[in-house]
Amino acid sequence: MRLAWVELRDFRNHVETRLDELPDALITVAGPNGEGKTNLLEGIAFLFFLQSPRTSSTEPVVRRDADGPPTRAARSVTEEAGKVLVEVEIPGRGANRVQVNRSSVRRKRDLRRQVRAVYFGPDDLVIVIGDPSKRRDFLDDAIRSLWPLKESADDGLRTHAATAQPAAQGVGGRGAPPDWRPGTPSSSRTGAR
């Protein structure tokens, strides 16, 4: 996926920010503290996930002194299937208005079928330096975001993981039966015991 342009209006401290003709390469955003670098990333992420990665409510993302139309974020991305335009209006209270290619979208899943992304922001540093479970949670979220149809496979993987560990310990802690191999019908039968 390639981000072609981004526009934020009344999003946190961005009165009106537009980035045009973004290069098909790594993009670096630099500036002093408190100038809106993280808010810019949050605005871009909002367009992919339809929620802020930093807050559960949309009220904080609407610029406080905003008067006029609702906060707006828009971006164009190029996917394998072609260009996709995503537009979100955030009223601060009430439901967001979301359009993909000028057609209304009601569910996040419908957007995820069009564009896929993973957000890694400053608040995610714990993934790198923290407990391994945080990395697993981040990767689980990334997989669900990048491949939304695999979301239903999560239940199967959790079930397999829950049965594999006890099966590996075997009955009475003696180890796995000789025919047990992870992911085989034998492991499923052993896990069911």
Mean pLDDT by 10 residues, the chain (193 residues): 84 88 85 91 86 82 72 67 83 81 85 78 82 86 72 57 56 55 50 45
Cβ-count burial of 142 within 10 angstroms (0-12 exposed, 13-18 middle, 19+ buried)? middle
Name the CA dihedral angle for 28, 32, 33, 34, rounded to a multiple of 10 degrees: -90
Using the structure block, give the residue that is written with the tokens 């400053």: 122
Asked if 98 and 88 touch (Cβ cutoff 8 Å), the reply is: yes
**Angle of the 185-192 helix axis to the 153-169 helix axis, nearest 10:** 70
Q: Nearest to residue 55, comparing CAs of 68, 70, 39, 72?
A: 39
Q: Nearest to residue 123, comparing CAs of 42, 64, 26?
A: 42
Q: Determine the topology of domain 2-116 in CATH.
A: Rossmann fold (3.40.50)
What integer pLDDT is reported at residue 134 of this predicted model? 83
Using the structure block, give the residue that is written with the tokens 């993934």: 127
Asked if 184 and 177 touch (Cβ cutoff 8 Å), the reply is: no
Structural domain spans, the chain: 2-116, 120-170
Q: What is the pTM of this model?
A: 0.62
Asked if 138 and 127 touch (Cβ cutoff 8 Å), the reply is: yes
What integer pLDDT is reported at residue 30 of this predicted model? 92
